[in-house]
Amino acid sequence: MKAAHMNLSQLESFVAVADTGSFTEAAYAINLTQSAVSHALAALENELGVTLLERNRKGLVAITNAGEKILPHVRALLTQAEAIAQEAKMAAGMAVGKLRVGNTLCLCPGLLASVLTHFQRQYPDIEVILFEGTMQEVALWVEESIIDVGFVPLPADRSDNTLITTDELVVVVAPGHPLLGQAAVGGDDLNDQNFIMAKSECSFQMMEMTGMDSEQAHRAIRYQASDSATILAMVREGLGITLLPRMMLPANLDGVVAIRLDPPPQLPIGLAIRSQTASPAAKLFTQTALAWTQAQGSHSG
Amino acid sequence: MKAAHMNLSQLESFVAVADTGSFTEAAYAINLTQSAVSHALAALENELGVTLLERNRKGLVAITNAGEKILPHVRALLTQAEAIAQEAKMAAGMAVGKLRVGNTLCLCPGLLASVLTHFQRQYPDIEVILFEGTMQEVALWVEESIIDVGFVPLPADRSDNTLITTDELVVVVAPGHPLLGQAAVGGDDLNDQNFIMAKSECSFQMMEMTGMDSEQAHRAIRYQASDSATILAMVREGLGITLLPRMMLPANLDGVVAIRLDPPPQLPIGLAIRSQTASPAAKLFTQTALAWTQAQGSHSG
DNA sequence: ATAAGGTTATGAAAGCCGCTCATATGAACC
DNA sequence: GGTTCATATGAGCGGCTTTCATAACCTTAT
C-alpha cells in the first residue's frame, strides 16, 4: 500500500470544509461536487492515517485535534502555491492573482482606502479580498497564512514589518469641557476622566500611549461602543471624552472639539507580511503603501 | 486550455533538478524515470507559462530568473507538505519523518553531538540530515526552507530563535606569552596582537565581542586557517594568538595556554526555526535541545 | 568524419486517480 | 413514518502521470 501523493485539490477541499464547516458549502465554494469533496477528504485522511474531521450527518463538521494541528500547514502550503502561480505570471509580465489584506477597523480607515485605491489602479488584475479584525487577529492571520498582508500597530514582534505611517492620538471632548481651558494637556490630565472607547483591545493600547498603565486604562473606560459615530455622539452629549487617531476624525466635527496632547502620542502603523514566503502581490502592496507614504510626506513637507 | 492543477510530484522534480543540476540525477534521487522528470518539468512550465530551466543537452541545466524566484516558494511548499505528513504521524503516536539540521563548524561541535545523540535516542524514527555551513548560510537556509532547524549565534534578527546555551570566549596563547603575566586580560589588551583565526565570518563576530570594532578586527588577523587544530598548532609556534569558544578547546591543550578574559565575553548560541510553519520534528528537536541545556545547567549548579 | 557515450525530448500505451452522476445512508424535525 | 437536510458510497469516464522505447542533440575520442 504505497501511499500515493496527497493532492493540492484534496488540501483545498480540507481548507474549504474547515472554513465553511460543511462539505456541501465547501464544494460550492471551490467549484466541485459534494461527492468530490467527500472523496477527497476520505482519500486524504486515508493517506495521512488520521481522521481530520469529525463527521456528523447533520450539517456541522467539527475539526479534530489532528486536523487542527495540520490545518495551518495546509494553509501555508496553499499560500505558497498561490505565490508560485503569481511569480510565474509576474515573470511573464502580468500582475495577477489574489491578495488577502487584513485591516483593523480602529486603525485609520482612510489609510487603507487610499492605499487600496492606488494599488487597484496600478495593478487592476490583482483581486483584493478584505478581512476585518482586531489587531491581534490581523497579526495572527498573517502568521497563519490566512491573509497575505495586514495593517498592524507597531512594534509587532512577530513576522516582518515595515513602517507605513504614524498617526497622532488626539483627545476629543464636548465644548465647554474643563480640559479646553488648559494651555497644554498632558497624560496626567487624563487620569481622572471618563472615557468612551471602541470595543477593542486597541483602545487600551492607545490609552497606554498617553502614559496610563493598563489598570488605569481599564478603570477609566466608562462606556464602550463599536462605532466611532456612536462614540462621538456620546462625547457630544457630555458622557465622557475619547481618544482617537487623527485620521479617524470626521471632516467636520460638529459638537465636539479635538485637543492635541503634549507630548503628542504617535501611533506607529505598519504592514506585516511573511518575510521570506510573501507572495509577489503582497510585496507589491507593501511597495505601493510605502510609495503612498512618501508621496504624503512630500505633499505636507 | 483550462490548466490542470500543478502537482506535488512536478514540484519535487523541479527542486531535485535545481539541486542536482541534472534531469537524470534528479530522477534517480526521487525514484523516477528521467522521462518522468522531463515530462513533469514540461507540464509545470507549460502550466505556469514560464521557462524555469535553461536546458542544454549536455549535462548542465541553468535555472532561469523566473525559476530562481519561484524556487524558494516551491521549497517552502514542499516543507509544509512534509510537515503535514509528520503532524499526521505524530497524531497517530509516532514520531517519524525527516529533519534537516544546519550547523556551523566554528560553533561548538560538542553541542551538536550531544543534542543529536539525545534526540536520536528519543526519536529513533526521525531521520536527521546534517548540513554544514557558515552562520550566515545556516540562518539563510532556515528562512529558505532548505533546512528545518539550525544552530546560529544570537541575536539573529530573522526567524524565530530560542537560546540554547552560551559559550565563553577565551584567548589562547603560547606559553611564555606576555599576556600570561597580567592579572586580568581585558579587551584593550588584545588590540595590538596578531590573531590567527578560522576562515569564517564568525571569527570577526567573536573578535568584536571582545570590544574591537570591525576594522580593528580585520587588521588584527594575521593568518587564517580552516581547521582548529591548525590554528592551535600555529599558536603553539608563537605565530600569534587566537580566540575560541571554550567548547572548541581540545581536552588537553599541550603547548598552549587558555586565558579567560575580563569581562568574559559570552557567545550566545540558539536554534533558529520558522516560527509558525515549523515541522513537528523541528519543534521536538528544539525541545530536546532545551532539555539538554537545562540538564547541563543542573549538573553544574 | 565518424563513432561512442553522455544528455534531454518525444510518442504511445498502461494504469491509476480524481471527478461526476446517481443513489444509499443517516439524523433531525414534523 | 416521511420529508429534508446532510454525508457516504459505487461505478464509470476521462485525464494525468508514469514507463518504455527511441529520437535528437552535444561533446569527446578515435
Residue B1 has pLDDT above 70, yes or no: no
What's the gap in Å between the CA of B66 and the closest CA on chain A?
6
Interface residues from chain B to A (CB-CB < 8 Å): 5-9, 48-50, 65-66, 69-70, 72-74, 76-77, 80-81, 83-85, 87-92, 143-144, 158, 275-277, 280
pLDDT more than 70, % of chain B: 91
Question: What is the rounded average pLDDT of the residues A278-298?
Answer: 85
The average pLDDT across A51-76 equals 88
What's residue B68's pLDDT? 93
Q: What is the pLDDT of residue A45?
A: 95
CA distances from A33 to A13, A16, A84, B277 (A): 11, 13, 26, 31
Q: What domains sit in chain B, N to C, each tagged with a CATH number?
A: 8-63 (1.10.10.10), 75-162+269-300 (3.40.190.10), 166-267 (3.40.190.10)
CA distance B96 to chain A (A): 13
What's the Cα-to-Cα distance from B240 to each of A184, B33, B220, rounded to whole Å? 64, 56, 10
Chain B positions touching A280 (Cβ under 8 A) are 69
pLDDT at B157 (0 to 100): 54
CA dihedral (A126, A131, A135, A141) positive or negative: negative
- At residue A299 the predicted structure's pLDDT band, cuts being 50, 70 and 90, is low
Reported confidence tier of residue A108, pLDDT bands at 50, 70, 90: low
Q: Which residue is nearest to nucleotide C9 (CA to C1')?
A: B38
What is the arithmetic mean of pLDDT over A3-19? Answer: 91
Rounded CA separation A279/A101 (Å):
12
Choose, out of B30, B96, B276, B284, the residue to mutate when testing the contact with A (most A CBs < 10 Å). B276
Q: In angstroms, how far is C24 C1' from B10 CA?
A: 38
Q: Average model confidence (pLDDT) for chain A?
A: 85
- B60-118 confidence digits (pLDDT tens): 678 998 999 999 999 999 999 999 999 999 998 888 899 999 987 666 667 787 889 89
Nearest to B275 by CA among B163, B165, B161, B164: B161
Residue A199 has pLDDT above 50, yes or no: yes
What is the rounded average pLDDT for all residues in chain B? 85
| More confident call, B178 vs A56 | B178
From B69, B32, B28, B30, select the one nearest B48 (Cα to Cα): B69
User: What pLDDT sits at residue B156?
Assistant: 55
- Render pLDDT for B210-250 as a digit per residue (tens, 0 to 9): 888 888 888 888 888 777 778 888 888 888 899 988 877 77
Interface test with A, best of B47, B70, B71, B279 (most A CBs within 10 A): B70
Question: How distant is C1' of C6 from CA of B57, in Å?
Answer: 9
Find which nucleotide's C1' atom is closest to A32's CA.
C19
User: To probe the interface with A, which of B87, B90, B140, B160 has the most A CB atoms within 10 Å?
Assistant: B87
Q: Do A73 and B48 touch (CB under 8 A)?
A: no
Place of cell 479534530: A64
For residue B162, give the DSSP letter: E
* Nucleic acid strand D: bases within 7 A of protein CB: 5-11, 15-22, 24-27
Distance from residue B76's CA to nucleotide C25's C1', rounded to whole Å: 41
- Take residue B94 and report the three cell numbers written for it: 509516532
Contacts of A5 in chain B (CB under 8 A): 7-9
Cβ pair B21, B51 in contact under 8 A: no
Q: Among partner residues B70, B83, B158, which is closest to A73 by beta-carbon distance? A: B83
Bases along strand C below 7 A from a protein CB: 6-12, 16-23, 25-28
**Residue B172: in which H helix or E strand, if any?**
strand B160-173
Determine the distance between A53 (CA) and D19 (C1') in angstroms: 37
Contacts of B8 in chain A (CB under 8 A): 5-8
CB contact under 8 A, A70 and B88: yes
Closest chain B residue to A279, measured at CA? B73
Residues with CB under 7 A from strand D: A 22-24, 34-35, 38-39, 41-42, 55-59, 61; B 4-5, 7, 9-10, 31-33, 35-36, 39-40, 43, 57-58
3-state secondary structure chain A: CCCCCCCHHHHHHHHHHHHHCCHHHHHHHCCCCHHHHHHHHHHHHHHHCCCCEECCCCCCCEECHHHHHHHHHHHHHHHHHHHHHHHHHHHCCCCCEEEEEEEECCCCHHHHHHHHHHHHHHCCCEEEEEEEECHHHHHHHHHCCCCCEEEEECCCCCCEEEEEEEEEEEEEECCCCHHHHCCCECHHHHCCCCEEEECCHHHHHHHHCCCCCHHHHHHHEEEEECCHHHHHHHHHCCCCEEEEEHHHCCCCCCCCEEEEECCCCEEEEEEEECCCCCCHHHHHHHHHHHHHHHHHHHHHC
Q: Rounded mean pLDDT of A169-194?
A: 85
Calpha distance B214→B154 (Å, rounded): 18
Phi, psi of A298 (to 5 degrees): -75, -30
